[in-house]
Amino acid sequence: MNKKFIFLLLISFCQGIKSQKSTNQNPFLKYFNRIINDTNNLSSPKLMNYPTLAFSPETNWEIGLSSLYIYSANRDLKNRLSEVKAFTFYTLEKQYGIWLDHALYSDQNKWFLLGKARFQSFPLLYYGIGVNTPKEHIARIDGNFTYFKERILREIIPNLYTGLELDIQILKKVSYQNTTNFFVKPNGGNGSSNIGLGWGLIYNNIHNILNPRKGIFSEWGFLSYSSNLGSDYQLNTYLIDNRFYFPIKKNNVLAFQLQGQFSNGNAPFNLLSLMGGESLMRGYYLGRYRDNHMLASQIEYRILPFSFSKRWGASMFFAAGEVFSSLDKFEIKNLLPTAGAGLRFLLFPEKDIYTRLDYAFTEEGSGVYFFIGEAF
């Protein structure tokens, strides 16, 4: 299993920062000292910029810059926490990308904008379609990928939102490297442009999206891709994502997630349901398994923070999931497990936001993940 390590040059300094006098700090330490120890105004927005360093076999070394901006509308702490995340990177293989994610709430939480945008020239390791695919990738797919998804939702009753969903996915300049004898060019393998329009329904009574401690997040979405919208392929996709959070004792949280994505019609390989990644089914490369349908669940126990520490905590998690071509092909015996544990560091005490360092292991290998905010 290919591994990708992401290092945030922050936590190694956190314990030493407090003990140093500001006059002895270099500008880098001064910046992070101001960020993580600023508790003067609980309602003020927070902006953090930090470098990242990563390595993976398909990219070689990768350098990047990440930004996180968090705020409450009108600086009113009764409004839910909004976040904007940006990430840009460049690799020694001359690959690059720009990512932008957001979850924005208006005043009194009446409007909810949830979306993401991607543009990247970045390799994809392709293993084939279905659960019975080779252990090693059968091709590396290079190309330019543009992705835009936006949900514009209005609260109709307290905590229940509904509205339009738009999805645009464009794959161009596709080429194949390191192909094996098992490789067959997939549907949409020459690239495609696909536009989907649909409707979504979200129930959300969680105040802090980066660190839920209590409540429910439930999303039900439908997207239709058709030639009338300018889509090269015609298909429908359905998404369900249900998350539950239960406080245990004073600082502990038990979190549970069940997610499914289902499609019918003529789906290109890049619109199939994918399993893996840094959020659900950690330990598997995102897209290691892909097919028409995906169903997975995970449970995680979080200690935020330890009883003997003000800023350090931990988590333990277990997940299982599978991909399948049709609903009658789902079989319990094909479920793939993953498990792991992680450390937590309280980055913004006044907003209850942690960084996470997770280690996950599977039957095929392992993965390490370092991000701000919980996996789900």
Query: How many angstroms separate the CA atoms of 186 and 268, rounded?
Result: 8
What is the full DSSP assignment across 91-143? ETTS-EEEEEEEEEE-GGG-EEEEEEEEEEE--EEE--SSSS--SS-SEEEEE
Domain range list for the chain: 5-372
Q: Which CATH class is domain 5-372?
A: mainly beta
Query: How many angstroms separate the CA atoms of 137 and 144, rounded?
Result: 20
CA 253 to centroid of chain Cα atoms: 20
CA 338 to centroid of chain Cα atoms: 17
Question: Which pair of structure tokens corresponds to residue 173?
Answer: 């300049």
Mean pLDDT value of segment 355-368? 93
Whole-structure pTM value: 0.88
Question: Does residue 359 contact residue 366 with C-beta atoms inside 8 Å?
Answer: yes
Neighbours of 184 (CB within 10 A): 10
Query: How many angstroms separate the CA atoms of 208 and 217, rounded?
Result: 11
In a 10 Å sphere around its CB, with 0-12 CB exposed, 13-18 middle and 19+ buried, how is residue 331 labelled?
A: exposed
List pLDDT tens digits, range 30-54. Answer: 666 666 665 556 788 999 898 888 8
Question: Does residue 171 contact residue 188 with C-beta atoms inside 8 Å?
Answer: yes
List pLDDT tens digits, range 238-279. Answer: 999 999 999 998 899 999 999 999 999 999 999 999 999 999
List pLDDT tens digits, range 61-107. Answer: 889 999 999 999 999 999 999 999 999 999 998 899 999 999 999 99
CB neighbours of 16 closer than 8 A, spacing ≥ 6? none
List pLDDT tens digits, range 331-347. Answer: 999 999 999 999 999 98
